[in-house]
Chain A
Amino acid sequence: MAQSLLILVTKAPYGFEEAFAGLRAGLGMLASGQVPVSNALLVGEGTLNAVAAQKPEAVRMPSNAEAINDLLEFEAKVYVVKEDLLHLVGDVPLLEGVELIDWERARQVIDEHDMVTTF
């Protein structure tokens, strides 16, 4: 029986449905009360979901920033792999509350959860 789920977000925001869906899935776990721990790990292009300057209103899409903030409000952890972010966009401001980690720590995070699913 799984007590914890890690949402591994690999897709960039807005070009795909997956990142928003994954973040909402993570929130759904916590809102249901059935899964005590539900965290998110943003890797590869998924790290772009944590960029503070995103403007979803420009494409009239639901806000991935809001989805991350909702998770944080439920005391979920949202991890961002630093190497992947730096490679894509450099050192840019991120949403408040997300945690920058390296790949070594990311592997530990994956290992700490009972289940991992990818979006």
Chain B
Amino acid sequence: MKTMVIQIRSGTMMNMDTNIAVKLAKAALDKGYNVRMFGYGESVTIIKNGQDPKRFPNVGKETKELLGKGLEVVVCETCCKARGILRGEEIEGTKIGSLTNDLSRFVAEGDRMVTIAR
């Protein structure tokens, strides 16, 4: 089975990048790909529990739904600390990890990488 890696850097409420990333992940999972998503910079908000964007798409909720379908989501710990996002605040099943350990693993295991950023 092929593995797609998505590197995302925009925050959940900045623009539609995270929505696109989650939709891309869903489409790839539906086609039978493994999908790994790594969040860097502002995009670490993807894993924050309790997102409630009212009339806008709830990226956290959509991400949570995909975890059950095999999506793996890791975000940068340094970026989280910089933004005051602490361990224990992440959606269950997501991980606050690191570039060195987790993005490297994703790259090593991956067949294709898509970068979504501006």
Contact = CB atoms under 8 A, between A and B. Distances in A.
Interface string A4-18: 010000000000011
A31 B100 contact: yes
A25 B5 CA distance: 15
Interface string A28-68: 11011011000000000000000000000000000000000
Interface residues of B, number: 21
A118 B55 CA distance: 31
Interface string B76-111: 000000000000000000000011110111011111
A115 B112 contact: yes
25 contacts: A1-B108, A1-B110, A2-B107, A18-B9, A21-B41, A24-B99, A28-B98, A28-B100, A28-B104, A29-B103, A31-B100, A32-B100, A32-B101, A32-B105, A34-B105, A34-B108, A35-B107, A35-B108, A115-B107, A115-B110, A115-B113, A116-B113, A117-B7, A118-B115, A118-B117
Interface of A: 1-2, 5, 17-18, 21, 24-25, 28-29, 31-32, 34-35, 115-119
